[in-house]
Amino acid sequence: MAAFHEKQLPKDAPIAAKALNWVDARFPLTSTWKAHLSEYYAPKNFNFWYAFGSLALLVLVIQIVTGIFLVMHYKPDATLAFASVEYIMRDVPWGWLVRYMHSTGASAFFIVVYLHMVRGLLYGSYRKPRELVWLFGVGIFLCLMGEAFMGYLLPWGQMSYWGAQVIVNLFGAIPFIGPDLSLWIRGDYVVSDATLNRFFSFHVIAIPLVLIGLVAAHIIALHEVGSNNPDGIEIKETTDEHGVPLDGVPFHPFYSVHDIMAVAVFLLVFSAVVFFAPEMGGYFLEYNNFIPADSLKTPPHIAPVWYFTPFYSILRATTSDFMGWLIAGIAAYVALLVLKTKLAGFLKVAAIVIGLAVVAGMLVFDAKFWGVVLMGVSVMILGALPWLDHSQVKSIRYRPGWHKYIYIVFGIAFIALGYLGVQPPTTIGTLVSQVCTFIYFGFFLLMPWWSAAGTFKPVPDRVTFHPH
């Protein structure tokens, strides 16, 4: 057991210094501050893309604080939930502001996280040695989706009720265990008071605890290996005699000041939305959610909130007609793996066997089941990025020029899927969704080939930095 040591200070030392010394002897306050802020050296060539991580942390705090105040007045009871939300909006002092901050914060959270992920894609922030940082980030994204879905039911409006009914019923498409799984999630044969109570418990207690833990792990893992930068250069490889990176600056005060500026701009935009357009034309809060849930009256068009719609579009695009194209795509991909890779013989055999098993499953199980599978895989495949990208360099700055167009096409397909997921299904819309689904999965599954193709630009030894 280590001996207890308390630093001896002069008798005339300030009271604050004595108090800090007393705490440091019992808790690593100063050393933690130094390790993660004042002596954590970040690359000096950060740009605006690197502010979204701090903004995500800010929105998490906003959601937790506003959520605490909402729980003080909310009633997790099917007969009282909608009325309690109306009570918060109309009678609780400043309740309308807290509720709108929370509902707008949910959309802001996903906007910030999506932009944070775009930065990771552009600069290869998922590459070695940051694979675990990326995996923790994907875990955070999954928790966010679960948290948003659980919270969406709580207002007990029409879209809350029927949206939950549709999404939970999707689990019924899973062979053998589907009906029992749906029943277990709902706690009843339909979305009811039991569903509301368990969703409330997960939304308020279970998922936030996991989310906070993952955020802490994400930051600790990042500070262990160091931050990436727009050049994709490891600044820890070039240090002075004291081990300080020559191309690094202390996060505080240099980037903490930058983040304060980003926070000011974000809060300005956030406040404008909260005060002037909290529903954002029905994208943040739908019209049907201002109507009490009615189990006997189905809305004409049921769609999830905008941040789920790209994945929901993939679900809707998977029709019985689309299954033939999926089978053809799987056959072509397996042929590509066998003929155009240097995989070991047993791995090629495994690829053929798995491909045949999937094709057989597509012939046996219906399109609804495979739509659920594709929707789940479309999120989970993000975790495989560190092993799919075979590029010689990390940053898009030094990749072949045509790589940028692949990212642009992928971005357009993702946005198109998101837009089409909000709209009622049409023949043309379904066809476009199917094309965009192929583009979405093709981006990831073909990445081992296209990411390594082309002529790469030479990467400098030191980061490129232009003072401003």
Distance CA 213, CA 140 (A): 9
Distance CA 450, CA 437 (A): 18
pTM: 0.94
- Looking at residue 339, what is its pLDDT? 86
What pLDDT band is residue 3 in, cutting at 50, 70 and 90?
low
The arithmetic mean of pLDDT across residues 56-70, rounded, is 97
For residue 337, the tally of other CB atoms under 10 A from its CB is 19
Chain segment 232-243, per-residue pLDDT in tens:
999 988 888 888
Q: Does domain 38-290 have CATH number 1.20.810.10?
A: yes
Taking only Cα atoms into account, the Rg of the chain, rounded to an integer number of angstroms, comes to 25
> 164: helix, coil or strand?
helix
Residue 321 has pLDDT above 80, yes or no: yes
The torsion angles phi and psi of 248, rounded to 5 degrees, stand at -115, 155
Stretch(es) of the chain classified as CATH 1.20.810.10: 38-290, 306-450
Q: How far is CA 252 from CA 60, 199, 282, in A?
A: 21, 40, 40
Amino acid at residue number 118? V
Query: Domain 306-450 maps to which CATH number in 1.10.10.10, 1.20.210.10, 3.90.850.10, 1.20.810.10?
Result: 1.20.810.10
> 6: helix, coil or strand?
coil
- Kindly report which listed range (44-53, 251-260, 342-351) carries the lowest average pLDDT score: 342-351
- Looking at residue 182, what is its pLDDT? 92
Both tokens of residue 219?
């930051």
The arithmetic mean of pLDDT across residues 144-154, rounded, is 94
Residue 137 has pLDDT above 90, yes or no: yes
Whether cis (ω within 30° of 0) applies to the bond prior to 253 is: yes
The torsion angles phi and psi of 410, rounded to 5 degrees, stand at -60, -45
Q: Which has more pLDDT, 466 or 370?
A: 370
Whether cis (ω within 30° of 0) applies to the bond prior to 292 is: no
Chain segment 405-460, per-residue pLDDT in tens:
999 999 999 999 999 999 998 999 999 999 999 999 999 999 999 999 999 999 99
What pLDDT band is residue 342 in, cutting at 50, 70 and 90?
confident
